[in-house]
Amino acid sequence: MGIAEDVEKELPYLRRYARAVTGSSLQGDTLVEGVIVDLLERSDPGIGRLTLFSMLERKVSDFNASAPGSASPALSSNPRRAQLLTTMEGFTLEDAARIMGADASTVSDFVADAEDELKASLATDVFIIEDEALVAAHIAQIAKQMGHHIIGQAVTRETAVEACLANPPALLLADVQLADGSSGAEAAREITDQLDIPVIFITAYPQRLLKGERGEPAFLIPKPFRPDMVKAVISQALIQKAAKL
């Protein structure tokens, strides 16, 4: 497999990680584009996932170093990135250590620090847009375990928009395709046009929202999901929102 095939295979996941780290689809995709530009200068017959994420991690580190003020550490600290690499991207501690240029024990400490930070995060009001009752119940249980409050749930675009504008949440967890044919993504757009809140999309087709196009989401969780992934992404979204206030 050549470089082009390797990049095509991993591109959605590189975008997902970069967007979650920066909290911006535009900035995250810009970092990934920088990796692709660097690859144009290489003549390797192929390149593995670890190398691609290591190259992206260096871009993230450069982004942190050049970011003005004190926002950068809160947005993409070592503990946050270690947790995202292991919980969201599924790397082992050893592989995450290689990506971050650290040893496994250090990365283990990073993950523990991130979990402590997660537990200490302020409770907030969460609204869920999900048409599968069991999935919605599972998401709600995870959020409640983190100390958050579920203030409502909707299964259609219309009811979601109406409920959120009447009783605004601080975080929106949304499926993309709803049973009645309406769009959770469209509901989220209408809600965030009125409310400045983060949105986390939970979908069986995350690649459809990771094409590098303008306006794509920063936070995506694939179905089936793991509870630790949901917790990590919720924490990241809320930490980034707090850092921007």
Would you kindly state where each structural domain of the chain is located, as residue ranges?
3-119, 123-244
Q: What are the phi and psi torsion angles at 44 (to 5°)?
A: -60, 145
Residue pair 187/160 in contact (Cβ under 8 Å)? The answer is yes
Model confidence band, residue 70 (pLDDT cutoffs 50, 70, 90): very low
Q: pLDDT at residue 73 above 50?
A: no
Q: pLDDT at residue 91 above 50?
A: yes
Give the pLDDT mean for 109-131. Answer: 83
Q: pLDDT at residue 118 above 70?
A: no
Give the pLDDT mean for 22-48. Answer: 85
pTM over 0.75: no
How high is the pLDDT of residue 236? 84
Q: pLDDT at residue 82 above 90?
A: yes
More confident residue, 218 or 122: 218
How high is the pLDDT of residue 128? 98
Q: pLDDT at residue 74 above 50?
A: no
**Joined tokens for residue 141:** 């249980």
Q: What are the phi and psi torsion angles at 32 (to 5°)?
A: -65, -40
Find out if CATH 3.40.50.2300 is the number for domain 123-244. Answer: yes
Task: Quick: pLDDT tens for 145-197.
Answer: 888 999 999 999 999 999 999 999 999 999 988 878 888 889 999 999 999 99
| Domain 3-119 classification at class level | mainly alpha
Q: What is the CA radius of gyration of the chain?
A: 18
